[in-house]
Amino acid sequence: MKFIGKFFLTILLLLLLGLVVIYVLLQTQWGAGWVSRTVSDKTAWHLSLRKIEHNFSSPSHFVLDNFSFGHDGQPAVVVAKRVDLGLALLQFSDPLHFASIELRDGVVNLANLTADHVLPVQAGRLQLTSMRVDSPNTPLPLEARQVNGGIMPWKPSAQSMLGSDAQFQMSAAEMKVNKVPGANVLIQGSVTQGRMLFSNVGADLARGSMTGSAERDAQGNWLIRQLRLNDIRLQTSQSLADFLRPIQQLPSVTVNRLDMTDARLQGPDWAVTDLDLTLKNLTLQGNSWRSDDGSLSLNASNFINGRFELNDPIVNVGLSPQGVALTQFSSRWANGVIRADGSWSRSDNRLTLNNLAVAGLEYTLPESWRDRWQAALPAWLDTVEIKRFTSNRNLIIDINPAFPFQMTSLDGSGENLLLARQHQWGIWSGKLSLNASEATFNRTDLRHPSLSLNADDRQIQVTELSAFSGNGLLEGSASVGQQADRPVALTLKGQAVPANVMQNWGWPALPASGASNFQLQLNASLKAGAPLKPSVNGSLSLRTDEQQIQQQMQAGEVR
């Protein structure tokens, strides 16, 4: 019996000695190298360690120095100067499930983790200390520096490095999310079955600050519960369309409340300064939107998009399933003022402006304004109607060399003007009166030009057309058919006007000079995309003190 007892005692002592030797050897460079080679040779992962440390003051913790870990044939996913592994009783049944893992002073690069592989370790808590995190290929691409924080519990999966059910809290000195940089970032939240809840988000963003809360479901739909942006100063190399495209590419974005105060945003051909904005209850989905009892209120110092510029714009709209109620729009534009109110109806894509007023404009028409007038409107805008229109002291200029014109101190009024239907601009119905103090049409000067018209489905009837030229008076009337050919009939009379008054308007030069009386009858077609001159037929009767001229024009040629 004594022999058996001594035998087992000897075996026990040898085992203890072996464990002590193994314990000591593991904490040497040889031991760290042996562990690294064993994991690298026996698994699909590569591991590199410089040293393994253990201190009996923290008996359940092992420390790994100069740690590097990744998939075979790929760059390392995790590189850390120091890794602290906390052991747990659960490791007897699940050796790779630790009580805690702390990564310190290193890099986590998820771009080096292939889609069909998941990190083989788990922990009750993952702690990051002074780490860099790069995750460029996730739904929220991010780059973060000096990250501190934790995830509890940490059970990574192929779908998410955070796992399917965890709470997290992180801070970062610098972070880029979808290439938007921020500093002093704080994020608190949780993930549950693919649904990510950001209960508190704060950051210094573009020399301003951001605070908010949001959530993202498993399908990628976003709900912004509350977002506040203060004093943002953002410059980007993207066009306005490219800047907004990431939002349009998401499945949907719902905004419960968004507040922006004193923001300045600038791109290569667009900018908005001193922007104050409040947006409530709006869902964006691609190029469409929906809202129940939503609203948008904004004002800014300037808004620029290409050549289009608004100064001091103010917009207040209500949003509903039926459409948009424009309660207020006002802005300085082209050195003048424009004001409007009305509504847009979703059911028929109809924009109705109850009031539109423009005053003091000094506006030069773009070279392509005729092409824009003939181009089809977008799908969301089928009809444009103006119930009441007023114009005061405007200057309108067209510098097209083919037929330049200018109207000074242009006043006007209109009622029930239907300016677009079936996605096409025009004057489809309503009444309009315009008059100016002076005008020049292709180098021909006129004083006090005046025009009045009535439009319906069949034609535009110009009931009054008059202007002073030289010491005389021009008077006329006209009609323009609403058919595709746009047939035009014009009657124009001149009393004591210069004989060459029509030369700059396309009529050939006349062998006459001085004051004259004339009568012109003209028919033509204003068909879109077709030249005007070949369609012109007319007759001219002109008389001066010395001679009388009769001329006929057919297909644009006098015969």
Per-residue pLDDT of 99-157, as tens digits, reads: 999 999 999 998 888 766 788 889 999 999 999 999 887 767 889 999 999 999 988 88
- Give pLDDT, residue 142: 84
Which residue ranges of the chain lie beneath pLDDT 70?
1-32, 56, 115-116, 139, 556, 559
Q: Is residue 477 part of a domain?
A: yes
Tell me how far apart the alpha carbons of residues 554 and 559 are, in angstroms, rounded to a whole number.
Answer: 7
Is pTM beyond 0.85? Reply is no
Give the CA distances from residue 67 to residues 35, 76, 344, in Å, rounded to whole numbers and listed in that order. 12, 10, 62
CA angle 257, 261, 264 (to 5 degrees): 120
Q: Is residue 491 part of a domain?
A: yes
For residue 372, the SS3 value is helix
Q: Is residue 186 part of a domain?
A: no
- Give pLDDT, residue 114: 74
- Per DSSP, which regions of 193-307 are E strands? 195-205, 208-216, 222-230, 233-235, 253-266, 270-285, 288-290, 294-299, 302-305
- Give pLDDT, residue 5: 56
Q: Of 126, 114, 133, whose CA–CA distance to 71 is shortest?
A: 114
Tell me how far apart the alpha carbons of residues 490 and 538 are, in angstroms, rounded to a whole number.
Answer: 9
- Give pLDDT, residue 543: 92
CB under 8 Å to 10, separation ≥6 — which residues? none
Helix axis angle, 29-42 relative to 2-26, nearest 10°? 90
Q: Is residue 517 part of a domain?
A: yes
Residue 454's DSSP bridge partners are 431, 461
Q: Please, are residues 210 and 203 in contact by the beta-carbon 8 Å criterion?
A: yes
* Structural domain containing residue 550: 458-559
Q: Is residue 182 part of a domain?
A: no
Tens digit of each residue's pLDDT (9 = 90 or more) over 228-239:
999 999 888 889
- Give pLDDT, residue 6: 53
- Give pLDDT, residue 21: 45
- Give pLDDT, residue 27: 54
- Give pLDDT, residue 249: 86
Q: Is residue 330 part of a domain?
A: no
Element (H, E) at 124: none
Q: Is residue 168 part of a domain?
A: no
Give 401-432 as a DSSP string: TTS-EEEEEEEEEEEEEEEEETTEEEEEEEEE
61-71/45-48 β-pairing = antiparallel
Q: Is residue 476 part of a domain?
A: yes
Q: Of 82, 148, 158, 68, whose CA–CA distance to 113 is shortest?
A: 158
Residue 297's DSSP bridge partners are 278, 316
Q: What is the widest separation between alpha-carbon atoms in the chain?
A: 156
How far is C-alpha 212 from the chain's CA centre? 20
Provide the domain count of the chain: 1
